[in-house]
Amino acid sequence: MVDRDRDDAGRALNSRPRDRLGRPLPPGSVGVARIPDDLDLPPQQTLTFAQQLLDDGLAFNAHEVLEAAWKNGPFAERMLWQALAQLAVGVTHIQRGNAKGARTLLTRAITRLTEFHPADDADVPYGIDRAGLIAHAQALLEALDAGTPISPTELTPRLRG
């Protein structure tokens, strides 16, 4: 069995370098900067950082930032952050040429965004553009189903309105 780096709680850490699309590289390779395993940013900073990564074509890294918010945020918002992370993974799958994986994750993101209901019928928090993100994910699904090429510009959803 291969020994793995572990955090103080015993959870496995993956220090292996990755390429721009999040694929593991051979040990010792130079990859893109990794998102720290213990990332814990306030929501607005999370969205700003994730948007910057999406804009730079680093959807996998954006997913890791959004996943940290999903895991560290308040329980009432977990479905929302999970949906955003899944949207970023869906984009990652498109970047990698994995249409089936993209469809699965984009569909999950749409479902969670649709089903998320903020407390007291308030607006979606932090200026997140739920309707725009649902429409963006649906447009990506339609392009995948039609076999239409998807440009890098179409792979940069706007997280906030």
Instruction: Write out the two tokens for 35.
Output: 């998102």
Instruction: Dump pLDDT digits (tens) for 52-111.
Output: 999 999 999 999 999 999 999 999 999 999 999 999 999 999 999 999 999 999 999 999
Instruction: Write out the two tokens for 123.
Output: 């607006």
Tell me the domains of the chain and their CATH numbers.
Answer: 43-155 (1.10.3450.10)
Distances (CA, A) of 50 to 61, 69, 140: 8, 10, 19
Contacts of residue 94, defined as CB under 8 A and 6 or more positions apart, other chains included, come to 102, 140, 144, 150, 155
Banded model confidence at residue 13, pLDDT cuts 50, 70, 90? low
The predicted pLDDT at position 25 comes to 87
In contact, 105 and 90? CB cutoff 8 Å: yes
The residues that bridge with 160 in the sheet, in sequence order, are 128
Distances (CA, A) of 122 to 116, 118, 119, 125, 145: 11, 6, 6, 8, 34
